[in-house]
């Protein structure tokens, strides 16, 4: 598979080949087909819908779990498929999960209950980033454009 291969269906970059144990484990863990992906998203949305009905600590803990699940998925997915939005959403949601777990420990929100709007804001920024990346690079896969160094023809001086 070449580094310059086009995105599948114009959206999803092909995954890198699983060349080590870590990559093979990620491939087994991440949902790859429609039904498991849909169930994973439904579980995250379910956690976010249940959280407001719990006391502050429990609700924040549940939101933190949802943010961790979403950020973890994107972070692991970025390591395999390199989708541009996963670079932003993975980091943003994992950071938000850390903040939310700290808030759960404190027993109150330090951002006045705006955790879920921040979650959606990270999603919007991630999608905009991927759109900009695609427009600028022609692919939504974050790949290095570094080519191997060219060999220079060296003049050899012979001494007699």
Confidence of residue 111 (pLDDT cuts 50, 70, 90): very high
Give the residues across from 12 on adjacent strands: 8
pLDDT at 8 over 50: no
Residue whose C-alpha is closest to residue 17's, from 88, 79, 74: 79
CB 107 within 8 A of CB 140: no
Greatest alpha-carbon span in the chain: 89
28-38 pLDDT, tens digit per residue, is 888 877 888 89
Where are the strands (E) in 49-153, listed by range? none
pTM over 0.85: no
């Amino acid at each position: 598979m070449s580094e310059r291969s086009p995105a599948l269906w114009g959206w999803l970059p092909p995954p890198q080949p699983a060349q080590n144990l870590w990559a093979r484990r990620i491939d087994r863990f991440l949902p790859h087909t429609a039904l498991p992906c849909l169930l994973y998203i439904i579980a995250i949305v379910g956690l976010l819908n249940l959280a407001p009905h719990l006391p502050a600590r429990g609700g924040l803990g549940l939101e933190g779990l949802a943010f961790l699940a979403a950020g973890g998925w994107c972070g692991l997915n970025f390591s395999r498929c390199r989708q541009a939005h996963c670079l932003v959403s993975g980091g943003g949601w994992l950071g938000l999960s850390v903040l939310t777990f700290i808030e759960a420990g404190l027993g109150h929100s330090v951002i006045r209950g705006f955790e879920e709007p921040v979650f959606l804001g990270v999603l919007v920024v991630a999608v905009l980033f991927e759109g900009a990346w695609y427009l600028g690079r022609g692919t939504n896969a974050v790949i290095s454009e570094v080519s191997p160094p060219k060999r220079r023809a060296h003049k050899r001086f012979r001494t007699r």
